[in-house]
Structure 1
Amino acid sequence: MELEHKAMWALKTTNLDLKTGGEARFLYIHELEELRQHAYENFVLYKERTKRLHDKRLKDRKQFQAGDLVLLYNSRLRLFPGKLHSRWTGPYTLKEVFPYGTVAIENVDGVIFKVIGHRLKLYVVGPIESAVEVIELHTPHTS
């Protein structure tokens, strides 16, 4: 009995009407939902803008064709560093290019396997022409 009396006293002192309180709570919940929706829309716009900026900075995609000679990057050699270890193995013959960057390559033994195209680079066959100019230096004569 005493607990009910204290509850009624608290309601009267705060002048709280249950119907008005329910409406206020209903409006508060809907306002919160509108804020969440607005934040979600801003988040989507931010992600789109970030993706555009990221995609703009990407290097051009490598265009491989069947029959190209390629080198394969061996990421495991990073675990055992050495100055003279080449991380590129090959050359391999490119057999087929699949969608989404997957590539089938063939080694010298005829074994065909699939790799991700990001791990490949074109193999340049033959000597590379360089324009090296020889300059002769003479010691100055002092008298």
Structure 2
Amino acid sequence: MKDWALKLDDALWAYKWLLKLRLAIKKLNFDLQIVGKHKLLQLNEMEEFQNQAYENSKIYKECTVKWHDNRIVPRAFLPGKLKSRWFGPFVIKDVTPYGAVELHGKDGTKFKENLENLENFENELILVRKNAETD
């Protein structure tokens, strides 16, 4: 009898909560099939929204490329008109801390270039550092 009396309280408690749960399900009209269909519908709507956003971004990119391409001015280059600044050996007159180099050619041309673009070709590129005493 003792074991039955201990289990009776647990059984009554479980029965009480089962009744409350059934009432709650009926009250909320909680049908698992309907809820499952509703979730599936929401997922489909979200996927459709994602596809529309992808298409809109694709259209925007195409329009941006068209706009940019329309603003490009066509240029005609005649042979002999283009001259390279990279002819002959150069002397480095000044190097800045950030890698900019001032180059001087033998014909008096001066320009600045990035140090990464320079190559030492058969010792024709000479490094000359300016001293504060000589200036």
TM normalised by structure 2 equals 0.44
Higher RCO (C-alpha under 8 Å, 6+ residues apart): 1
The structure with more helix, counted as a fraction of residues: 2
The structure with more strand, counted as a fraction of residues: 1
- Rg larger for: 2
TM normalised by structure 1 equals 0.42
